[in-house]
Amino acid sequence: MGGVKIDALELRRVNLPLVRPFRTSLGTETVREALVIRVLTADGEGWGECVAGSEPLYSSEYVDSAWLTIRDHLAPRLFAGPALSAARVAPRLAGIKGHRMAKAGLEMAVLDAELRSAGMSFSEFLGGVKDAVAPGVSVGITGWISELVDVIAGYLDDGYCRVKLKIEPGWDLAPVRAVRERFGDELMLQVDANTAYRRSDIAHLAKLDDFGLLLIEQPLDEEDLLGHAQLAARISTPVCLDESIVSATAAADAISLGACSIVNIKAGRVGGYLEARAIHDVCSAHGVPVWCGGMLETGLGRAANLALAALPGFSLPGDVSATARYYTEDITPPFVLTDGTIEVPQGPGLGVAIVTASLEALTSQTELIKGS
C-alpha cells in the first residue's frame, strides 16, 4: 500500500433507468443519474462513484455540484504532491469545506486503484468478517396500499429478509398496519421518513410503537438532533439517524445526546469508506448497532457497500439490495440474491469488472481532467 501517482481523472455522467419509479418523501425518481469517477495511474486505474443525486433533495450536493467541485477544487489538490494513499485523500482535501459525496467518490477511486495494485479486496482492507450478507429492501411509497403489499410480497419471494417502508405524513400508520396484517409480526420491518416530520408530530409518531418496528429512520430535519433526542425519549421504537450523521464526530455526538440508538452508515454521506469505518468503530464502542444504507448505487458502489456491510458491527440488514431491485442494465455484472444472501466481492479492489459496452451506452457526458 505505497500509494498511487494520479495522472488523470475521468468523470462520467451515467443514466440508469429504474425498474420501477422510486418514491420517497423527497420526490420520485425514474432514472438514476450517477457520477462515475475513474482515476488513471502510472500502473493502472481505479473506479469510484459519487452518490449525489441529480437534484439537491436528499443532500445539498447533486451531480452537477459534485462535478464542478471535483474538477475545479478537489482534482487540482489530488494532482499536487507525490504518490497518494487513500488514507491521505481526506487530509489532502480537508481545506475544502463540505462536499463529502464528491470527496467520497474520489477516495473510493483512489482506494480501488491502490488495492488493485496491492492485490487486496475492499473487504479485507476494511476488516470484513463475512463472505456474504443478507440484504433488506427499501420500498417506495405507492399509490395504493394494495400495490404496496403486492410489491413487498414479490421482494419476500425474492428472498429479502427485512423490509423498509418509506413514510411521510399521510402515508405512515395505515401502510405499516396493512403490512403487519398481511405479513405478520415476524417480518423484520422498519420505516424511513427522510426528514418529513416536525417536532410537533411526536405524538403522532408515537402511534407507530404499536407495530413492533425495528427502527424509525430520520423522522426529523437533519440538523434537529435535539428534536430526535426528545422524540427518542417519548417513543419506544428505536430512533435511527441517516442524513444527520455526516461524520464520526456527528455519530458520537448524536449517541451521547440520546438522539439515536442505531446508525445508518453511507460512505458517500460521510466523505468516504474510511470515515464510514470510523463510524462503525465509534458505534461499536458505544454498543450501537449499525447497518449499511443505500443510494441506488451502480455496481461500483454496490460492491463497496457489500464489503462495508461485511464488518462485524453491521448487525442489522442493510439497504444493499441485488442489482435487479433497481436496474435491468448496470455498468458491472449484476449482484444476485441467492438463498437470501449476496456474496461479498473478494477480488482485488472493488472486485468487479466494468461492462464497457454498457458503460458507453449509458454515459451521457465525459470529461477528462489531466494532472500537470
The residues binding ligand NPQ (CB under 6 A) are 24, 26, 29, 32, 53, 58, 138, 192, 194, 242, 293-296, 319
Q: Residue 133's Cα: distance from chain center in Å?
A: 15
Which of 61, 172, 224, 242 binds Mg ion (CB under 5 A)? It is 242
Report the residue closest to Mg ion, judged by CB: 242
Q: Is 166 a catalytic residue?
A: yes
Residue 348: exposure state from Cβ atoms within 10 A (0-12, 13-18, ≥19)? middle
Catalytic residue among 103, 164, 166, 207: 166
Instruction: Check binding of 33 to Mg ion (CB under 5 A).
Output: no
351 binds, among ligand NPQ, Mg ion, none (CB under 5 to 8 A by kind): none
Instruction: Check binding of 319 to Mg ion (CB under 5 A).
Output: no
Determine the Cα–Cα distance for residues 208 and 44; give it in Å rounded to an integer.
52
Nearest to ligand NPQ of 41, 298 (CB atom): 298
Q: Which three cell numbers stand for residue 193?
A: 421518513
Q: Is 97 a catalytic residue?
A: no
Question: How does strand 162-166 pair with strand 137-139?
Answer: parallel
Q: How far is the CB of 305 from ligand NPQ (least distance, A)?
A: 11
Contact 167, 176 (CB under 8 A): yes
Q: How far is the CB of 335 from ligand NPQ (least distance, A)?
A: 15
Nearest to ligand NPQ of 121, 190 (CB atom): 190
Residue 284: exposure state from Cβ atoms within 10 A (0-12, 13-18, ≥19)? middle
The DSSP annotation for 199-252 comes to GGGHHHHGGGGGG--S-EE--S-TT-HHHHHHHHHH-SSPEEESTT--SHHHHH
Instruction: Check binding of 112 to Mg ion (CB under 5 A).
Output: no
Q: How far is the CB of 168 from ligand NPQ (least distance, A)?
A: 12
Nearest to Mg ion of 12, 228 (CB atom): 228
Q: Residue 307's Cα: distance from chain center in Å?
A: 12
Q: Which residues 185-224 are close enough to bind Mg ion by CB under 5 A?
A: 192, 217
Element (H, E) at 49: strand 44-50
CB atoms within 10 A of CB 297: 26
Q: How far is the CB of 245 from Mg ion (least distance, A)?
A: 10
Using alpha carbons, list the distances in angstroms from residue 134 to 99, 166, 177, 338. Answer: 31, 20, 25, 10
Nearest to ligand NPQ of 58, 155 (CB atom): 58
Q: How far is the CB of 225 from ligand NPQ (least distance, A)?
A: 17
Q: For binding to Mg ion (CB under 5 A), which residues are involved?
A: 192, 217, 242
Q: What residues are labeled active site?
A: 166, 266
